[in-house]
Amino acid sequence: MSEVKVFYIGDKPVKKDTVAGTNHVWRGFGSYRLVLEAAAQRLCDFPTVWMSEKDFRELYEEDGADAATGLASLPVVDAPPAQQVAPQPEAADQHDATPIKLIQEAIRKLDRANTEHFGSSGAPKIDAVREQLPEGFELSAKDLNAAFSEIKDEFRV
C-alpha cells in the first residue's frame, strides 16, 4: 500500500494522530506527514483537522502553502508547558467576533454540491468564501478555518 501526504490544518502547535493509530505527530498548521492510504482516509474524515495534499493546495495555495509545508521538515518537540497568563484588556478589545460571523454567513451561502465551493474533504474553498464577503474584507486561511470549525456540524451529511 502506498503512502500519501496528509496535512494538519488545525490550530494546535503540535498535533498527534489519535484517530488512525499511526503515532505520527504534526508540527502546527500546514505541516504534513506521509501515512498509509487507509490511515489517510480515516484522518481526512475530520476535515477541519487534516486534509489531503490536493485539497490543501486547492484551499490554501494563495496563503503560502509551499512555505507552510516547510514546517514538516522541522523536528517535532514537546510543546512547552502552558503558562497561566491573565488576559490583557487591550487584547480583548482588539478581538471582535463580527468578522468570524461574517465569514460563517458567507460559508452558509455556498452551494454544498458545487465542487468550486467545497473541496472533497468537505471544507469550503477560500476563493468561494471571498466572493461572498464584502469588498475589501481580508480573509486568511486561518480565519476561514476558525470560522468553519465552529459551524462544521451544519455541513455534515
Whether 154 has a pLDDT exceeding 90, the answer reads no
CB atoms within 10 A of CB 134: 7
- CB 22, CB 37: distance < 8 Å: no
pTM flag (> 0.85): no
Q: How far apart are CA 21 and CA 24, in angstroms?
A: 8
Q: How far apart are CA 111 and CA 157, in angstroms?
A: 14
The DSSP annotation for 9-72 comes to -SS-SSEE--SSS---EE-STT-EEEEEHHHHHHHTTSTTTEEEHHHHHHHHGGGTHHHHHGGG
Tell whether 12 and 38 lie within a shared domain. Answer: yes
| Domain assignment of residue 132, given as a range | 89-155
Q: How far apart are CA 13 and CA 27, in angstroms?
A: 6
User: What is the reported pLDDT for 6?
Assistant: 93
Average the pLDDT over each of 90-94, 117-121, 145-149 and give the range with the smallest value.
Answer: 90-94
The residue from 73, 107, 129 where one domain ends is 73
Whether 128 has a pLDDT exceeding 60, the answer reads yes
Closest-CA residue to 1 (of 22, 26, 32): 22
Residue 96 lies in a domain: yes
Tell whether 140 and 93 lie within a shared domain. Answer: yes
CB atoms within 10 A of CB 146: 16
Tell whether 36 and 93 lie within a shared domain. Answer: no
User: What is the reported pLDDT for 75?
Assistant: 52
Q: Is the dihedral of CA 37, 146, 30, 113 positive or negative?
A: positive
Residue 84 lies in a domain: no
The pLDDT tens digits for 26-62 are 888 888 999 999 999 999 888 889 898 888 888 876 5
Tell whether 63 and 101 lie within a shared domain. Answer: no
Q: How many structural domains does the chain have?
A: 2
User: What is the reported pLDDT for 13?
Assistant: 87
